[in-house]
Amino acid sequence: MAENLRESPVIRAEHLKKYFPTDKEFLRKSSRVLKAVDDVSLSIEKGEIMGIVGESGCGKSTLGRVLLNLTPATDGKLFFQGDDITGLNPRAMKPYRPRMQMIFQNPFASFNPKQRIARALWEVGRVHGMSADAARARIGELMDMVHLPLEMLERSPAELSGGQLQRLAIARALVLNPDFIVADEPVSALDVSVQAQILNLIMELRARLHMTMLFISHEMTVVEHICDRVAVMYLGRIVETGPTEALFSNLMHPYAQALVSAIPRADPDEVKARIVLEGDIPSAIDLPAGCRFSSRCPRCTEECLRSEPELVDTGHGHLVACHHI
């Protein structure tokens, strides 16, 4: 049962794992596993935006889906507002569903092209038992919050721009006033001027509604701008995490440092030490023994090849998983 509700984080994960079986290969007896999420622990407090950042394939989206129990974890524990929801089947998840929502990267794919916007928003409320009047009032309120005119409800998705649709996707996620939102790369498909509009909207709504959000992105600058805390993932694991300011003012993990140094900065006068990582991201199927970053790490030593580093607290909640800290 719930512990003291006031103190429970909105979402808490302990040693979460998500493994996928891979296709059986020729001449191989057993199929191997792909470790998409491999021992991730995190918790997000009410009103907090937690950022997950890393390159493609590092397990960000899978983590988001596992946290919402949209796909069952292979191992680990999951708590939502203090309730243990580990392994709950869709039926048992039903009471929790309206309290968790998701926003996706591609706003054009998030809406049924044959349906008017009003219908798409309306359905969310009705399915979860809102009265027609309440749904109508709520939608009106939300259109105001995302700064779109009510007339837009009568349009179909094809008539709207990516930025407008992403605002509407946010409005739809808010219809039921959820306690937790996973936003999976919500600004990655947008032009920079539109991206700025959506980031401003998220910051505004957070201040107003005290939303709790997992914000997934592959862009360090975006995550740094809007998140309270950030976790950097590499091949299924968090390699560095901490409060945003503390983390970015003192990045310690060699991967996190390389990731930041690889961002082309829109400032020709910025002097920076470029750390160029050699080679490609290895697959999450055949992980190297020892540290999973060892194959690309400029600071790799023998110890790194032998044992996998644990996340260690360097103070003030800034955790790093590297032997050379």
Asked whether the beta carbons of 321 and 310 are under 8 A apart, the reply is yes
Residue 83 β-bridge partners: 80
Please identify which residue in the block is written with the tokens 């491999």. 38
Q: Does 250 help bind another protein (rule: CB under 8 A)?
A: no
> Residues touching another protein: how many (CB under 8 A)?
40
Candidates 8, 61, 101, 244: give the one binding ligand ADP (CB under 6 A): 61
210 binds another protein (CB under 8 A): no
Q: Which segment (5-13, 56-64, 140-148, 163-171) binds ligand ADP by CB under 6 A? A: 56-64
- Would you say how long the chain is, in residues? 325
Instruction: Write the CA distances from 59 to 36, 65, 169, integer angstroms.
Output: 5, 10, 23
How do strand 11-21 and strand 75-80 relate by DSSP bridges?
A: antiparallel
Selection from ligand ADP, another protein, Mg ion, none that 149 binds (CB < 5 to 8 A by kind) is none
Query: Is 56 an interacting residue with respect to ligand ADP (CB under 6 A)?
Result: yes
Taking the least distance from each CB to Mg ion, the nearer of 100 and 135 is 100
Maximum Cα–Cα distance for the chain, whole Å?
66
Answer yes or no: are the C-beta atoms of 184 and 227 closer than 8 Å.
no
Q: Considering CB under 6 A, how many residues would be counted as binding ligand ADP?
A: 12
236 contacts: CB under 8 Å, gap ≥ 6: 35, 36, 37, 38, 39, 40, 58, 59, 284, 292
Minimum Å distance from CB 60 to ligand ADP? 3
Question: Would you say 126 and 175 are in contact if contact means Cβ atoms under 8 Å apart?
Answer: no
Q: Interface with another protein includes 281 (CB under 8 A)?
A: yes
Binding of another protein by 274 (CB under 8 A): yes
List residues binding another protein (CB under 8 A). 55-56, 161, 163, 191-197, 199-200, 203, 218-222, 224-226, 244-245, 248, 258-259, 262-269, 274, 276-277, 280-281
List residues binding ligand ADP (CB under 6 A). 20, 34, 36, 54, 56-62, 284
